[in-house]
Structure 1
């Protein structure tokens, strides 16, 4: 599946989604935002897909909103529509898909682009990549769940400073702050991303989805609520075919062959 703004390739149980407007650093217009939602839905429903990689074409991961669209009298959908119909549904899809999603940040990730990456389960960044909460530099506030995830990832004080000052953060600094999983040298970026995705695609997918659901609710649950949720989801995980295979493989001292069921 592909169109002018989003590319999709599925191989080895991995869906590779590429933001594909390199001439504008993969910034979002309405077509691209809606197409990304549709593409994520395709990956969610395809049982053959057991891991998703989101990346960008060209030099950038994503520069956020295409400002030419919002400043055009003919094209501007307005911020209400942009947030409620473009970015908010993208963030919710990323968090609610019960499959691991890797953000492979190949270049600059700015504004909504940075926050879409941070909403993914695992962020791997090219050493040349940068992250920028660019909103305040044009008189806006962070959206796309930036005010939700960033303080939880790096702490309230640091997140506030980055949001207000709009500082550019290197991939190395982002890892040090706990903003991302890891940065890798440019020459190892693609291989490292593929290796992580392939590992996830061959793991017990149901369990990974339950980990994601449980972590999502931990953001608002009390301790008592979270313990009850862990019990519920652990019982569910213990009833899967992959759990039975994992235990059998452990006892038989062999590599498990998980089916994602």
Structure 2
């Protein structure tokens, strides 16, 4: 892989946007490599959680405009290009394993979609967001299902899109686009604390949580109650749930409790990408 790096470290699948010299802009190659990296992490049984990060001072400046220009003349090629991005966001969102976005610097346009599709967003206090597609005569249509369905109300999304407003990290957190904000010096520690919590959660319960909340997006209250009943009944009958309850009653730890002893730092800003 040239645009994206993947490594497994102590049960954590780490996916790195590695084209920071070009702003980690998204094109056919990087989208394909991102999809392949997520496939590896999802299919690898030893991976408990997935971390998406960048290797430079910015997370992603969005779509590569040259890539967009190159596909606009042919409908089938355009469909392929749009589908590459949309399918990737759906893959991130539907991953049975929790996906953390670790971000710093600028997150623009299509980069916002990558972040919005993740389950947990942890950012440095210098992070900024900007949905700038409208300046090019476009709209972030494939970002919106993951942004306002999951993070912010539709009317607020309209405001951000029509004005192309640049948000600070604190403004983004106030809008629920970010879950936790840290100074850059504390970002590593804060991220590891979240990972520690995830490694104490039962993997099958995490997957059930993601599946259950996804289904809630398109259900009535009656359907949601029936779904809740069926989901709980299915979980209660599992032997490993019984073992987990017994472990807590006995003061021990369930079998799924694990430690993530990372061999490399999570916050990665390569020296040759700094200004």
Q: How high is the TM-score relative to the length of structure 1?
A: 0.91
State the aligned residue count. Answer: 257
Give the C-alpha shift of residue 91 in structure 1: 1.2
Give the C-alpha shift of residue 253 in structure 1: 2.1
Question: Residues 105 and 129 of structure 1 are in contact (CA less than 8 Å); yes or no, is this contact kept in structure 2?
Answer: yes
Q: Distance in 1 between matches of 2:112 and 2:137?
A: 17
Structure 1, unpaired ranges of 5+: none
Matched with 1:9 is 7
Matched with 2:195 is 197
Q: Which moved more, 1:169-178 or 1:65-74?
A: 65-74
Q: Which moved more, 1:20-29 or 1:240-249?
A: 240-249
Question: Match of 2:243, SS?
Answer: helix
Q: Distance in 1 between matches of 2:90 and 2:200?
A: 25
Question: Residues 99 and 209 of structure 1 are in contact (CA less than 8 Å); yes or no, is this contact kept in structure 2?
Answer: yes
| More RCO (CA 8 Å, sep 6+) | 2
Question: Match of 2:87, SS?
Answer: helix
Question: Residues 53 and 197 of structure 1 are in contact (CA less than 8 Å); yes or no, is this contact kept in structure 2?
Answer: no
Q: How high is the TM-score relative to the length of structure 2?
A: 0.86
Question: Match of 1:258, SS?
Answer: coil
Matched with 2:264 is none
Cα gap change, 1:83/1:59 in structure 2, threshold over 3 Å: closer, same or farther?
same
Cα gap change, 1:199/1:140 in structure 2, threshold over 3 Å: closer, same or farther?
same
Matched with 1:208 is 206
Structure 2, unpaired ranges of 5+: 259-275
Cα gap change, 1:189/1:142 in structure 2, threshold over 3 Å: closer, same or farther?
same
Q: Distance in 2 between matches of 1:34 and 1:73?
A: 16
Displaced runs of 4+ in structure 1, greater than 4 A?
A: 72-78
Question: Residues 12 and 198 of structure 1 are in contact (CA less than 8 Å); yes or no, is this contact kept in structure 2?
Answer: no
Match of 1:113 among 105, 111, 114: 111
CA displacement, residues 168-214 of structure 1 (integer Å, 9 cap, x when unaligned): 11111111121221111111112211221232133201101110011
Is 1:20 aligned to residue 22 of structure 2?
A: no
Matched with 2:270 is none
Q: How does 1:1-261 map to 2 (within 5 A)?
A: 3-72=1-70, 78-84=77-83, 86-150=84-148, 152-258=150-256
Give the C-alpha shift of residue 145 in structure 1: 3.1
